[in-house]
Amino acid sequence: MTAGPEIQCVSPILYRRLQRSSFSPSGTGNIYLIALPSQSICSSSAAGLWIGGRTMIRHLGRYREITGVMVKYGFGAALEGIIPPLARLGLWKRERADRVVPFYRRVRLAMEELGPTFIKFGQILSTRRELIPQPLAEELTHLTDEVAPLPFETVRPVIEECCGPIEEGFASFDETPVAAASLAQVHHAVLKDGTEVAVKVQRPGIKKVIEEDLKILASLARRIERRYPDLALYNPVGLVQEFSVQIRRELDFVQEGKHAEVLAHNLEDFPRVVIPKIFWDYSGPRLLTMTYIEGVRIDDLEGIRAAGVRPEEVADLLLTSYLKQVFEDGFFHADPHTGNLLVTRNGALAFIDFGTVGVLRPERRDAFIRLMSGVVDEDVERIVGAYHDLGIILADEDLDTFKDEIYTTLRQFRTYELGQVDFGEVMGQIPDTLRRYHLTVPLTMMQVVKVLIFLTAICRDLDPGFNFPIQAGPRIAEIRRRKLLSPEHLAGVSRAAERWLSDLLELPQTTNTTLKKVAAGSVKFYIESPDMLALGASIRYAARLLLIGMVAAGFMMGSSLVMLSTERPVSAGLCSVVSSVTFLGYLAAVVVGVVAVYMVLVRRE
């Protein structure tokens, strides 16, 4: 019998729930659901209770659809306390997941079945390799949003909304799309002047669908943080907010067209790089018309050779164009996959699909250059310094271990035949290292890492002798040299020197003012100690319990005294009143006592 896979680093609450349920991931090797710190299990059962809410009421049908898909693929147990109970009614019995299908593949299949929002979320999540295990990230890169095209009459109103009657704006318009995805489909057309264009049409109603799913994702993220506090470290709410901003930008085709124009301007010195021209008279928020480009995919080596183009030249062109985008311009095509890069018959490299771009500020470009040079030179201190400049701050107690791990990684992936570090493998290990130390990083950094990993892999396919440090190193050094000597950089140095000089001249006056305030006694120091705060909270809690106990005792003693103080016979009516008063007093004492016991035993801090 083959031993089952081991589930590691799972939220403790979720892990116990998965153990109790019929959920059992299959496959070989370890399965990492998500890396988590070792934290205590949340004891509050109230976090799992949920009684309706406007979001659930409005989107109950979609909640049930999501639950049905998750149950279908064997993830029903993970939904307890996250999906509203009303949306789960009658669905648990349907769980019939195919246990032969590997766990991470079931995650991908579930996302594909849930539709465009979840597909896009999975694609973006695949770039956040510091948050999810590498096998899951690799599986999510295979997410596809190819769908059956809509009938032409369904998308015609979207086209005519921007262009007017199709017959007036186009010489011809192919009603059969050349490509169809979950957000849009692309048609080939010819303008009146004979220009061949690609018309990207947004699917009608898709924005409403995505907005509904975004509200549900935001609600689920909040509930996940409440239900599993140890997952809050990974900021699910912030991740959903970041995704919401990005997918809304992708839905705005005007923004996508502007991205294409910026890239075209930045790469105008590369005559063999093609960015499609945008025809704004035929474009709008839901329609984008651009130059039609014919070519073969960049991973089609046979097609490239058949066009008389050497794959090695394509690899060099791809490398130099991306290095300029990332490290010189700080504005780059952030969705690099083989379907978005074409090689034309004349050997030009064409970029398509500009919905996702990355923006890298100048200081972060410099930090990335230092990071890459540190990897090439095996300089651990330079790598750690670059991480710090990128906003990745390590705890002091983890610093030495982190440096040891980086050094070990560099040595492990050294290619001794070439005397160089295997750059692609090292870059691929960066997210794993960040995840082990529970470090979160800006989305832009992971976009750059994704680009660098893709570049290394595709360039090796095109050119088996490709070596990133040897071929990219001199170009990056030249970019940095040009930047240091550029008028903008020199002007920045001048401004910084002026500020430093001004601060230096103000230092004596600032010091004198501070000393006068200290001498006058107007400077106050506030010392905050977590232990003292905890002690104060404990004292206040104990005082509240003492007050409740005294109130309960007062009710009890008062009622007893009323009973004992009746020294003469009383009428039946008065006896009834006295009995009622004393009964109410005893009842109040019991209720207050129960509340006190509940606070001590159940809701103690």
Give the pLDDT of residue 342: 94
CA 604 to chain centre: 35
For 155-206, the pLDDT digits (tens) are 999 999 988 899 988 999 999 999 888 889 999 999 999 999 999 999 999 9
Beta-carbon contacts of residue 538 (< 8 Å; ≥ 6 apart): 605
Across the beta sheet with 341-343, the strand order is 273-274, 349-351, 341-343, 296-297
Question: Do the Cβ atoms of 19 and 43 come closer than 8 Å?
Answer: no
Within 13 Å, how many C-alpha atoms sit on residue 341's CB side? 27
The predicted structure's pLDDT at residue 443: 74
Cβ atoms of 458 and 338 closer than 8 Å: yes
> For residue 386, how many other CB atoms are within 10 A of its CB?
22
Task: Give the tens place of pLDDT for each residue, 427-476.
Answer: 667 777 777 777 767 778 878 888 888 888 899 999 988 888 788 888 88
Length, in residues, of the chain: 605
pLDDT for residue 600: 65
Q: What global pTM score does this model have?
A: 0.69
User: How is residue 329 written in tokens?
Assistant: 């311009």
Active site residues: 335
Give the C-alpha separation, 330 to 430, whole Å.
21
- Which residues of the chain fall below pLDDT 50? 1-53, 418-419, 567-570, 604-605
Cα-based distances in Å from 371 to 329, 332, 426, 476: 18, 18, 11, 12
| Amino acid 99: pLDDT | 61
pLDDT at 140: 86
User: Alpha carbon of 469 to those of 123, 271, 281, 308, 366: distances in Å?
Assistant: 28, 25, 45, 28, 17
